[in-house]
Structure 1
Amino acid sequence: MKSTVRLDYQFTVTDCIKATVSDMLTPLEDPTILCDGLTVDFTSQSNSADVFWDFGVPGVNTDTSSLLKPTFTFPGPGAYKVTLYAGTKSPCGDTTEFIFNVSNPVLPEFFWTGQTCFEAQAVDFRPITGFPAGTTYLWEFDSTAAFPTFTQPNPPIQSWSVPGKHYISLSVKVGFCTYTKRDSIEISYLSANVDAGPNQTVSLGEWARLRATGGSDYYWYADDEVEMSSRITANTLARMEEVDTVKFYVRARDEFGCEGLDSTLVFVLNGDAPGPINFFSPNGDGVNDEFDLKSINPDNAYSLVIFNRWGSEVWSVKEYQNDWSGVDYGYNELPDGTYYYILHDQGEVIYKSAITLMRDTDGRP
């Protein structure tokens, strides 16, 4: 016996007057969207603002976005199937997919070797990162460089016409992508560690003994007319024939060809005048009550810093008036004992020594 079963179906037919089309920008249209490595800027080209992205990371359900132009960073290199749904709230929605092959970003690096002092500069730049065949290079230096630009992997030995900080960039183009690394280099002037020796005090008519270290090819000169036994040796003598403070300079070259400059002061005292004192007694008796440094600070132009025997600063002043009376910052009398002082001109040490403070005395050590 043959039986008949009747099944009824209901269909909803929607009249899509305007069809929704899902479309995205892909590397086929713009290869540069993969130039940032694992981070990709996506663009919906759909004709609907109602979109939903699935970036295709396996085992992850948070790799989504509803933005028209989302940015997404993939967890690692690989091929990811990216799906774009357009018109998600419409029965006339559409879907498109594309495989994005992402890779780690290219980070160009470079290093340099050689001398960076201005007098003997010769700097050799080399890229560190290896790049595939067909990569193009662009080195860019500033306009004061011997070679402002260069388009090969290894530029010639570089130098600059002025000292100071100079900027360097290396741009490499791999396929459709350009990557740039920027850095700076300091070309120093007179940076060799030349030492003109300590400041000294001599009597009028004596010879000052000048001793320089730290280089070769020395040349001495002064800020005043002074007779010198030699200007081109490390050690020389200078005859001091006027009561004055004379600044001597020495310029020299080190083993690498870098030059340096240093200076030292010679205080010239009248034969009858005392040098810097090493004792004073601020007890109000009118004798030796103030720390008098007129012999080396005649114009009251230098700054003075006082330290106690443990190295703690107890007093300081700019443009010292040769009138310290043995007090601290609160004008409290400091105890008797030995103190240490530095006389300086904007950080440059003019003179440093010890001074004994003793109040219970007749003003004489």
Structure 2
Amino acid sequence: MNLRLRTLVALASLILSFEGAAQSLSMVQTANLSKCTGDSLRLELNVTGSNMSAANGFRVMMAPGAPSTFTVPNSDTLDIVKWRSVFPLPVGTDTNSVGAKYVWVIVSDSITASGFYSIVIQSTSPVLWSDTIQVLVNVSPQSEITAISGGFDNLHTGGPDWGFCFGDTLTLYANTGQNGYQWFKDGTLMTGETNDSLLVVNSGTYSIEVSNGVCTKMSADTIINVFQPTTSVVHLPAGMQTLEVLDKDGVIDSLGFCETEFLQLAGPNSAAVGTSVLYQWLRDSVDLFGQTFTVPILGANQINLSTNEGGVYYLETVWLPGGCPDTSDAFWLFVDSIPDTEIQAVAWPGQTTVSLTICENDSTQLATIVSQGAWTYQWEVRFPAGSGNWTSIPNETSDKLTVSTAIVSGSAEYRLVIDNDYCTHTTSELLVNVVKLPTIAVAPADSLALCAGDSVLVGVTGSSTSYLWTFPGGSYSGASFYAKTPGVYVVAGTNANGCVNYDTLEVFFFTVNANAGPDQTVLPGSTVQLNATGGLLYYWYADVPTYFSDPYNPNAQTVPTQDTTMYVVEVLNSYGCFDTDTMFVYTFDPATLVPDLSNVMNVITPNGDGFNDVFDLSELVRADSCDLVVLDRWGAQVFEQKRYTSGWDGSTQGGDPLPDGTYYYLLVCDDIIRFRGAITVVRP
């Protein structure tokens, strides 16, 4: 707390100690008090005695010199801008309570003569007068921006500001004849700007502080905005059928459309009162050297431009007031021409004449007279001709079309829709007449089965005038003939219009697969069980007179009369077709074998020591294909292997070890017994 405040607090404490005394007002005189007009002045006021009335108000009056009395007519009433009660605590804004207070007032700008002035404070309820203090008042200098050069009244923003065009400058001028100047921008001192004029290059709020050597004064703010017009070009798509936006971003500045339509481009309009815009549309052009340059479009000086020509367009504007120029970004227009062509029938390769009349199973080809790679195509068909609706043909999007009944079942009209990016052209239609095929049907059926070697009479009926049969290994011209070769028979019938229709007949042989069963090896005098399959009826016979239990039984029994007997079975199926098969029966008596131990092994010792582990007959077999059959001493077969040379280790057919002992074997090569012998199996 400073000395003056401590003094006020002590004085207020003394006054409060006489509670109930008469009310009074007093001010503290500050030594050498000096202010400029327009400055803020803080007064120190003490209210003593008792609190003022709640209806009380205060008036601060200032008069030149030292008047004996103050009246409103001969005084300046100073505006009170702020109160603060400093005692008793707490600090607040109370004005009527007993205590010490600060009062802030503004020294009036209406004072025109410097000198000493007296100040007094008057209360209204009750009416009291404080003592008088003295203050030296100095008249502040005039501070204002008196002129602006290079700018204009900025009506474009709708606010009270001044403007200049982007890229230009303007100059502010202050009142002259003062001792000092300091320019401010947006409330911040501008370093080095201490002249009575200022060159402005940026938007901002500008003011100047002027000094007369004693007092300074800040001018009113002047708002200055750089005006940079924006010339945007938009398109007006209403009513356009072919317009396509080509941009990939959010800014539309690239459009395509067909030459049959006109596109409206529109520039910006000035919405602010008192403003206007001048327009000039521009377009890129190319000189004789291929260089691009921009030229104005003659007569195109309105806000809108209507065009059906491709190119790069710009809009040049001048904004008034101010005359600020601007040019829009490029606006690209791509205008396509109509793909003007028609369709015609064209010949197939090798065809000499072209016709729009085809058979049901034939086709003709339509194509454009002129085509270009940039065009896209869609073929359409109207069926029935003259009364149906036009529909797109799926997947037919080239400049050619193969017309057949795969599209529609009869005569129809065809046309082609051609797109050139933005232009669409529909050709004239062509009528394709479809002639019915002749009827044709094979007899007696579509498929026939024969026994091998048989034949069957086949024929054809229908509306054809001639017939041609083709089949495996031959052909026949006529309606009927005998077929005896298995396979597919195709008959082609041709009518008076030259249209050909086809039918097929499949002739196949019944398959009989006779099976006489596997060959057998038996002891002499044994009864052999035969087992035939593959048909309905069977008959057995042999290459030598042989006994059969029942030769018509597929499972007949027989007793062979020689070492090798060939048995034949004839098999008949349910359709009367037959087949034959053979099997051999070998008789073998192990007791009659005379082993030849000089060249053939007679003992094997399958113990894995690498010596005599397997029965090796490679010297006997050599390069021939021989089968090995091993029998036990009772004649039962225990092992058999086709194409044997070596490898039997005394095991059964299933791989189980046979008991030690003597076994008998046959080596059969090309159905002839090459060797008979005995082999002893010994496992050490």
Q: Under a length normalisation based on structure 2, what TM-score does the superposition of the two structures give?
A: 0.30
Question: Would you tell me which structure has more strand in proportion to its own residues?
Answer: 2
Aligned to 1:187: 509
Give aligned pairs, total: 268
Measured in 2, the distance between the counterparts of 1:181 and 1:337 equals 66
Relative distance call for 1:142 and 1:78 in structure 2 (3 A) is closer
Counterpart contact for 1:112–1:126, Cα < 8 Å: no
**Is 1:178 aligned to residue 500 of structure 2?**
yes
**Is 1:80 aligned to residue 405 of structure 2?**
no
> Secondary structure at the residue paired with 1:272?
helix
Measured in 1, the distance between the counterparts of 2:448 and 2:628 equals 41
Cα deviation, 1:62-90, whole Å, max 9, x if unaligned, reads 755424xx42465432443224799x9xx
After TM superposition, give the deviation of residue 196 of structure 1 in Å.
2.2
Counterpart contact for 1:22–1:85, Cα < 8 Å: no
| 1:320 alignment partner, one of 644, 650, 653 | 644
| 2:364 alignment partner, one of 36, 41, 44 | 41
Relative distance call for 1:151 and 1:271 in structure 2 (3 A) is same
Counterpart contact for 2:616–2:646, Cα < 8 Å: yes
Relative distance call for 1:49 and 1:281 in structure 2 (3 A) is farther
Aligned to 1:228: 546
Identical amino acids, percent of aligned pairs: 21
Cα deviation, 1:246-272, whole Å, max 9, x if unaligned, reads 443223433422111112231321242
Relative distance call for 1:285 and 1:136 in structure 2 (3 A) is same
Measured in 1, the distance between the counterparts of 2:617 and 2:505 equals 49
Aligned to 1:30: 355
> Secondary structure at the residue paired with 2:392?
coil
Q: List gaps (5 residues or longer) in structure 2.
A: 1-340, 348-352, 383-389, 421-425, 594-603, 630-639, 659-667, 669-680
Aligned to 2:399: 66
Measured in 2, the distance between the counterparts of 1:231 and 1:252 equals 18
Cα deviation, 1:18-49, whole Å, max 9, x if unaligned, reads xx9975369x9637644436xx33155x9x54
Relative distance call for 1:197 and 1:24 in structure 2 (3 A) is closer
Counterpart contact for 2:411–2:432, Cα < 8 Å: yes
After TM superposition, give the deviation of residue 336 of structure 1 in Å.
5.5
Within 5 Å, give how 1:106-255 maps onto structure 2: 111-119=445-453, 121-123=454-456, 133-134=463-464, 136-142=466-472, 149=476, 151-152=478-479, 155=480, 158-160=483-485, 165-174=486-495, 175-181=497-503, 185-187=507-509, 191-204=511-524, 206=526, 208=528, 210=530, 212=532, 214-216=535-537, 218=539, 220-222=541-543, 226-229=544-547, 233-234=551-552, 235=556, 237-242=558-563, 244=564, 246-255=565-574
Q: List gaps (5 residues or longer) in structure 1.
A: 1-19, 89-93, 275-279, 305-315, 328-333, 339-344, 346-360
Measured in 1, the distance between the counterparts of 2:655 and 2:514 equals 40
Relative distance call for 1:150 and 1:258 in structure 2 (3 A) is farther
Measured in 2, the distance between the counterparts of 1:109 and 1:336 equals 66
Relative distance call for 1:140 and 1:22 in structure 2 (3 A) is closer
Relative distance call for 1:104 and 1:283 in structure 2 (3 A) is farther
Measured in 1, the distance between the counterparts of 2:452 and 2:608 equals 57
Aligned to 1:56: 381
Measured in 2, the distance between the counterparts of 1:151 and 1:228 equals 54
Counterpart contact for 1:217–1:232, Cα < 8 Å: no
Aligned to 1:358: none
Relative distance call for 1:97 and 1:286 in structure 2 (3 A) is closer
Aligned to 1:4: none
Counterpart contact for 1:302–1:319, Cα < 8 Å: yes
After TM superposition, give the deviation of residue 283 of structure 1 in Å.
3.3
Relative CO higher for 1 or 2, CA cutoff 8 Å, sep ≥ 6?
1
Relative distance call for 1:250 and 1:122 in structure 2 (3 A) is same
Relative distance call for 1:141 and 1:272 in structure 2 (3 A) is same
Larger radius of gyration: 2
Measured in 1, the distance between the counterparts of 2:571 and 2:399 equals 69
Aligned to 1:261: 580
Measured in 1, the distance between the counterparts of 2:343 and 2:537 equals 77
Measured in 2, the distance between the counterparts of 1:54 and 1:183 equals 39
Counterpart contact for 2:346–2:365, Cα < 8 Å: yes
Counterpart contact for 1:56–1:81, Cα < 8 Å: yes
After TM superposition, give the deviation of residue 101 of structure 1 in Å.
4.1
How much is the aligned-residue C-alpha RMSD, in angstroms? 5.6
Measured in 2, the distance between the counterparts of 1:109 and 1:195 equals 40
Counterpart contact for 2:469–2:490, Cα < 8 Å: yes
Relative distance call for 1:292 and 1:240 in structure 2 (3 A) is farther
Counterpart contact for 1:193–1:260, Cα < 8 Å: yes
- Between 246-255 and 229-238, report the one with greater CA deviation: 229-238
Within 5 Å, give how 1:293-308 maps onto structure 2: 300-302=625-627
Relative distance call for 1:81 and 1:197 in structure 2 (3 A) is closer
Relative distance call for 1:287 and 1:272 in structure 2 (3 A) is farther
Counterpart contact for 1:215–1:255, Cα < 8 Å: yes
Measured in 2, the distance between the counterparts of 1:255 and 1:237 equals 27
> Secondary structure at the residue paired with 2:586?
strand
> Secondary structure at the residue paired with 1:227?
coil
Relative distance call for 1:125 and 1:288 in structure 2 (3 A) is farther
Counterpart contact for 1:112–1:125, Cα < 8 Å: no
Measured in 2, the distance between the counterparts of 1:112 and 1:221 equals 42
Q: Under a length normalisation based on structure 1, what TM-score does the superposition of the two structures give?
A: 0.50
Relative distance call for 1:179 and 1:169 in structure 2 (3 A) is same
